[in-house]
Amino acid sequence: MATHFNGTVTPMLANDRTLDLVNVQLDDINAVFTKPDYQIRYAGERAKLVKYVGDLQKNLPFMQDQINSLRHGEQLTKDAQQARDIHQLAEKLQLAYNKQYQLSADLLGVAQAMMQYRPSGDADSFANQMQTLNMPAEMRDIKSYLKFNGQRDVIADAEDKSADMALDIVSKYCGVTP
């Protein structure tokens, strides 16, 4: 169990660190058209986002394999309660994984949309066109549009609960006091 739990959590936490970088970058993307050199900045932000999405997606298959192995472990025990505990642990890890997967897919969509758009013209006139009074503020904020902070909250909660559950399982069934 420890091998597969740690095998899931280690890349999951690496993805959390990448999402911390993405958090800052999404703020930069929101502000890119307010800068006089927005065309160069736009290309730079797009390249960074593509790199971060690649970093996120690189870890996802390994994480899913580890969660699947943890699920397989629940079948190896004859103790029904222990099997349920392992199953619930795997479910919490799966929830965190699913949200990381969803965010990586959403961010890939943003990067692809950025690839199709070619900024040109006067930054002030473009900013004025994009940020009209008719457009809700949430639509001008990429993090709000992606529900980025809410998804990160779900990930953090699932990770915290899975850690608590793993410690409980270890202390209950392995006689180890964390």
pLDDT tens digit sequence for 87-121: 999 999 999 999 999 999 999 999 998 888 766 65
Is residue 8 in some structural domain? Answer: yes
The dihedrals phi and psi of 148, each to the nearest 5 degrees, come to -60, -50
Q: How does pLDDT run across 159-168, given as a tens digit for each residue?
A: 999 999 999 9
Residue 125 has pLDDT above 70, yes or no: no
Closest C-alpha among 90, 80, 65 to residue 162: 90
Domain carrying residue 32: 2-173
Q: Identify whether 178 is part of a domain.
A: no
The answer to the question of residue 33 being in a domain is yes
Q: Is the pLDDT of residue 38 over 70?
A: yes
Number of independent structural domains in the chain: 1
Percent of the chain scoring above 70 in pLDDT: 85
pLDDT at 115: 86
Cβ 167 vs Cβ 173: under 8 Å: no
